[in-house]
A and B are shown apart, each in its own frame.
Chain A
Amino acid sequence: MSTFASQTWWLLQRKLLESWRAPAWIVVALSTPLLYLALFGPLLNSIVGAPGFPPGSSALDIFVPGVLVIVAFGAGMGAGWTVITELDTGVLERLRVTPASRLALLLGPVLRDVVTFVVPAIVVTIAAQPFGYHPDATGTAVLLVLLSLLTIVVSAWSNALSMLLKDIGSLASIVTGLQLPLTLLSGVLLPLEIGPTWMRVLAHANPLYYAVNAARDLAQGSILTTDTGIAFAVVGALAAMTLTWATRVYRSAVA
């Protein structure tokens, strides 16, 4: 009997091969964050010094951690698309009739999404440094762990949701419908400190907001902060909840 770990590995390998064979996706995954840097980053230079921009930090010190959150979120969002394709081709059904662990069936695609977050994230972190990004090494490592958890939340959710919806149209409208408000209300692009009070209050209902705050702390090397603690608590709890729920969906899905 193969173990849970080896099952997860084989299922992850299948998904990584799938990504590797889709060069278009690789190009998009790498170019999206770089485009944010190249085409949005320069706009920030003129407002450095506004509230929310700590003195001595460059625009990219604020902006790059936010871009990483966008990348982490986006890496998991698309998970449902392949689930629906694999419901149609019967792949998921076939895998569900093997004795493989249901959690392993879920983790294969979810961990693939973590890889498709981590790789572009590292590329962006390196590529941004000549342009004024000064990340702390340890902080960046912890940051990648936090945002990997965020990718797990989003990916597991997208996986399970598409198992239940079974329809690419409904999935697409829910996913894109959520993506924009969650992103805008997290302070990803600009710090919410420069916004009105109601936005800052509303943002507290958005898990991404905590991730963005912690990401900025971590990139600057402030690891043991309240913001980081809250972010790990929020995202960690969400990860546990979505994984439990999604595994249950994989167990009993009327697919």
Chain B
Amino acid sequence: MDDNARSQPQAHAAIVADGLQKSFRSRTGTVDAVRGVDLAVEAGTIFGLLGPNGAGKTTTLRMLTTLLPIDGGRAEVAGVDVARAPREVRRRIGYVGQAGGADLGATGRENLLLQARLHGLAASDIHDRVTELVDLFELAELIDRPARTYSGGQRRRLEIALGLIHRPSVLFLDEPTAGLDPQTRASLWDHVRALRSGGTTIVVVTHYLDEADQLCDTIAIVDRGTVVTEGRPHELKAALARDTVIVQPRLGPEEVAELRDHLARAVPSTTAVVDGDVVRLAVDDGTATLPAVVEFLRREHVPIDGISLAGASLDDVFLAHTGRSLRDPDPTGSARR
């Protein structure tokens, strides 16, 4: 971090992080969960932190939202230094954690009223603001019922309303659509986009590729505690200049792995990975490579259920930068933070 960065605050940056670090001590030693994360989030955009479980996304988010002390580096959120003025940061941000945070025994309205009061909303403003959010998130019919009785999607809407009660300029959402059905997800994304139109900056932590791809304006891909690449999803994919040939053989797991090895030798590919029961070959030019793959499979009499060609996905971007697939089970087995 140099003095230059400090003296020239980026006018449109809602979040700036320089070299954020966090370690946890465990029985087996020290775990460096976040190892120098740099971020710059433009105001009024949806920013995604994408990565596998245990990558350090949530730990980063927890530092930015004042929930965890910062071990190293510094962060500014909504123009305020997080370590120096955590309370000022809390006034300016909304936060919806993985677990959600609704008080399940209380009614939706009681939840909203308490949150409004703790944020110091004027008594005259509280009623209007609650009504406004209840309408916006279509909660009118259930607002006086205990939150315990809500469906997953209803509860998520209440929790986002809780995060927005004080009209924060930055809203943090940690895995906002985990466990929701596709329809509810899509409707939640619409709500998030509407917030962006209203000028709110939204930071979304996700391990869902489609969420990062379709919802976020900019994403940072996080792996093992660092940002491996950052940019607009379509630019990240375009920069790869890469296609994927997906072969679905009718084979057992060991034979699929064997086929992967053979294909990697037979066809000019950047990487070849087994993903469930399919082999994914990352290639520079799919239309040129596909015939060679087909020819190889025919010659070797490999029984196949399907073969297809796909453009680059964010998973390919992740693979290109880390050598692993986001779909792989978490190799370290570390708990989500």
Query: Which residues of A are interface residues toward B (Cβ below 8 A)?
Result: 1-2, 6-7, 10-11, 14, 17-18, 21, 86, 88-91, 93-100, 252, 254-255
Contact = CB atoms under 8 A, between A and B. Distances in A.
A93 B99 contact: yes
Interface in B87-133: 87, 90-91, 93-106, 110, 114-115, 117-120
B169 interface: no
B118 A95 contact: yes
Contacts of B162: 94
A126 B97 CA distance: 47
Contact of B115 (A86, A90, A98, A254): A98
Nearest to B172: A97
A168 to B, nearest CB: 16
Nearest to B95: A97
B184 interface: no
A88 B102 CA distance: 11
* Contact-residue bracket for chain B: 20 to 34
A21 B105 contact: yes
A10 B114 contact: yes
B106 A2 contact: no
Nearest to B22: A254
A255 B67 contact: yes
Contacts of B65: 97
A99 B91 contact: yes
Given A93-B67, A97-B90, A14 B118 contact: no
Contacts of A89: 99-104
Contact of B110 (A17, A88, A90, A100): A17
A91 to B, nearest CB: 5
B68 interface: yes
Contacts of A18: 103, 105-106
Contact of A99 (B87, B100, B110): B87
A14 B110 contact: yes
Nearest to B165: A98
A88 B69 contact: no
Contacts of A99: 87, 90-91, 118-120
Contacts of B106: 14, 17-18
Contact of B93 (A88, A90, A97): A97
A145 to B, nearest CB: 29
Most A CB contacts (10 A, CB to CB) among B69, B100, B101, B102 go to B101
A94 B174 CA distance: 12
A88 B99 CA distance: 7
Most B CB contacts (10 A, CB to CB) among A1, A93, A97 go to A97
A21 B105 CA distance: 8
Given A97-B65, A255-B67, A90 B100 contact: yes
Most A CB contacts (10 A, CB to CB) among B93, B106, B162 go to B106
Contact of A94 (B24, B95, B110): B95
A7 B118 contact: yes
A112 B95 CA distance: 27
Contact of B118 (A17, A90, A98): A98
B66 interface: yes
Given A14-B106, A99-B87, A99-B120, 13 more contacts: A10-B117, A11-B118, A14-B103, A89-B99, A90-B100, A94-B102, A97-B93, A97-B94, A99-B91, A100-B118, A252-B69, A254-B24, A254-B68
Contacts of B93: 97
B299 to A, nearest CB: 56
Contact of B99 (A6, A90, A252): A90
A213 to B, nearest CB: 39
Contacts of B69: 252
Contacts of B68: 254
Most A CB contacts (10 A, CB to CB) among B87, B100, B114, B118 go to B118
A97 B64 CA distance: 11
26 contacts: A1-B120, A2-B118, A7-B117, A7-B118, A10-B114, A10-B117, A11-B114, A14-B114, A17-B105, A17-B106, A89-B99, A89-B101, A89-B102, A89-B103, A90-B98, A90-B102, A91-B103, A94-B96, A94-B97, A94-B102, A94-B115, A94-B162, A97-B67, A97-B94, A99-B118, A100-B118
A254 B22 CA distance: 12
Given A97-B67, A252-B69, A91 B118 contact: no
B178 to A, nearest CB: 12
B90 A98 contact: yes
Contacts of B118: 2, 7, 10-11, 95, 98-100
Contacts of A11: 114, 118
A17 B109 CA distance: 13
A7 B104 CA distance: 20
A1 B119 CA distance: 7
A96 B105 CA distance: 19
Nearest to B24: A254
A255 B337 CA distance: 10
